[in-house]
Structure 1
Amino acid sequence: MSRRCELTGKAVLTGNLVSHSNRKTKRRFLPNLCNVTLRSDALQRAVRLRISAHALRSVEHRGGLDAFLAKAKAEDLSPNALALKREIQKKLQPAA
């Protein structure tokens, strides 16, 4: 399983750990990933995703999973989240 947020695409970054003597060694910055279950209002079911804590705050701020996916760019989403976005759009299409 990759260390990548399914909604925002946030992934592992690399950098240097700098000591007091200014010696540099490689280190990794890991995203704060959480396994969460989010409810889709359009699909009337729960969806399990592995997203960052920052993405979870963004989902809540935008008003839920459906609203977040409506505004999300396709290149940032994982294949699982992209399929979910298409499924929600298909479900909401006849209503609009």
Structure 2
Amino acid sequence: MSRICELTGKGRQVGCNVSHANNKTKRVFLPNLQNVTLMSEALERSFKFRVSTQGLRSVEHNGGLDNWLLKAADSKLSARALKVKRELKKKQAA
């Protein structure tokens, strides 16, 4: 399973460990991913996502899962999140 947030698209970053002697060695920074269940108020269902903790705070700050998905760019969302976004748009149109 890849280490990418399903809602924000945040993934791993590459950098360097720097010693006191200024020796540099490659390292990887991984996002803090958590398995969470988020509730959609419009669809009246819950969905399981693998989300970074920063992404989870952002979703809650922006008014919940529904508002986040409708505002988010499709390129950053996972396939499951895109499916939920399409269901939301269909529900709004009806």
What residue in structure 2 maps to residue 31 of structure 1?
31
Which ranges of structure 2 fall in alignment gaps of 5 or more residues?
A: none
Q: Does 1:47 align with 2:47?
A: yes
User: SS of 1:75's equivalent?
Assistant: helix
> Where do 4+ consecutive residues of structure 1 move more than 6 Å?
none
Which ranges of structure 1 fall in alignment gaps of 5 or more residues?
A: none
What TM-score, normalized to structure 2?
0.97
Residue deviations 1:7-53 (CA, integer Å, cap 9, x gap): 01000001110000111111000101111000001111110000111
What residue in structure 2 maps to residue 5 of structure 1?
5
Listed as ranges, the matches of 1:51-62 within 5 Å are 51-62=51-62
- Give 1:92 deviation, angstroms: 1.3
Equivalenced residue count is 94
What TM-score, normalized to structure 1?
0.95
User: SS of 1:37's equivalent?
Assistant: strand
Note the aligned Cα RMSD (angstroms).
0.6
